[in-house]
């Protein structure tokens, strides 16, 4: 089972890719191509979750959810936002 800090580990990698922009990195590619490409990928992943939920089974829903969360984290990083800000907003709503 993954550790509870998987999102934080992924965030660290995303931030590293943003800073270093290594060739061959998909994350760096997304940063280079810009926000419109990132948004396009988020839209694609959201549609893929819907399709998975309508008939491809739970494993596929989990797989596509991971893709969506990854692309959402890339968007947050591209905009200078953080996952912690999302967590704070969620906590505020439950406050």
Secondary structure letter of residue 1 according to DSSP? -
Q: What is the model's pLDDT at position 79? A: 97
Domains and CATH numbers, the chain: 37-95 (1.10.287.1080)
pLDDT (tens digit per residue) in 23-81: 999 999 999 999 999 999 999 999 999 999 999 999 999 999 999 999 999 999 999 99
Contacts of residue 42, Cβ cutoff 8 Å, sequence gap at least 6: 68, 71, 72, 75
Cα(4)–Cα(15) distance, integer angstroms: 19
Predicted TM-score (pTM) of this structure: 0.91
Cα(13)–Cα(59) distance, integer angstroms: 25
pLDDT at 20 over 60: yes
Tokens 């829903």 -> residue: 61
95: confidence class by pLDDT, cuts 50, 70, 90: confident
């Amino acid at each position: 089972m993954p550790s509870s800090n998987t999102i934080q580990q992924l965030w660290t990698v995303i931030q590293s890719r943003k800073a270093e922009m290594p060739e061959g990195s998909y994350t760096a590619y997304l940063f280079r191509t810009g926000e419109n490409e990132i948004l396009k990928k988020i839209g694609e992943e959201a549609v893929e979750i819907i399709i998975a939920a309508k008939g491809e089974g739970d494993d596929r829903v989990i797989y596509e959810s991971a893709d969506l969360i990854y692309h959402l984290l890339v968007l947050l990083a591209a905009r200078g936002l953080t996952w912690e800000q999302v967590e704070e907003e969620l906590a505020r709503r439950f406050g």
